[in-house]
Amino acid sequence: MKKVTISTLAKMKQQGERISVITAYDASFAKLFDEQGIDVMLIGDSLGMVLMGENSTLPVTVEQMAYHTKSVKNGAQRAFVVADMPFMSYATAEQTYANAAQLMAAGAEMVKMEGGLWLVEAIKGLAERGVPVCGHLGLTPQSVHKFGGFKVQGREQSAADEIVAQALALEQAGIQLLVLECIPTELGERISQTLSIPVIGIGAGPHTDGQVLVMHDMFGISANYMPKFSKNYLAETGDIRKAVSLYIEEVKNGRFPSEQHSFS
């Protein structure tokens, strides 16, 4: 199967083909996901919660991210590989470039950063240096204490308008992919239609260009809790490979997420 690149994802958006994304943390699952035809694997700092049992993503280090990125890359042949830059690993330009370089050297094909307008210069700097960037707006888990918990964002008109403005600014700065987390369905659709780059939703409704799930949520084995936007595909199929295949199929044909997995 042909290797997925950022150009592949851009073409998928243009042609209206939905993008399937899943988190991955090791070579064995990466190989399994690849064989089922997943488009993108995200090495998420969610590993802090689902692998380490922490209450947030904040304790995760760049070294841990690099370790798991290398592991995933060793198992992934076709899928596009994206790695999260963890909390406070991109607070300064010097940190940003050094830590992004470490993740790219470990096998990432793109790095993901959480935040709005304050990231513009960092994104420009990375893009100029050949590092592809994925943005992340809405509920940004690294800001959980600022939000006062894991809460839906953008329900008020002013807040929704601000997220749209941030998305446009990040695209102009050079991001080539955007993740939207825990926002109303209408806002997810609005941003997906506004941006020219692919938009991936997680709790952002069914009208984004693609969907991402945390693999542990998809298999119903998360250490903490099952978010509203997740679906236990393993319970439905009774087989890991069939679960992944069904997830991809339902993303592609628009059956996932349904209204019960979305926010108004």
35 known ligand binder: no
| Cα–Cα separations (whole angstroms), residue 232 to 133, 217, 245, 249, 256 | 30, 6, 13, 14, 12
Those residues whose C-beta lies under 8 Å from the C-beta of residue 68, and which sit 6 or more positions away, are 25, 26, 43, 47
The whole-angstrom separation of Cα 204 and Cα 182 is 5
Q: Which of 203, 178, 182, 176 is nearest to 192 (CA)?
A: 178
39 known ligand binder: no
* Helices and strands (H, E) in the chain, number of each type: 12, 8
DSSP designation for 209: S
- Supply the residues annotated as catalytic: 181
Given a contact cutoff of 8 angstroms between Cβ atoms, the answer to whether 109 and 80 are in contact is: yes
46 known ligand binder: yes
Mark the binding-site residues for Mg(2+), compressed into ranges: 45, 84, 114
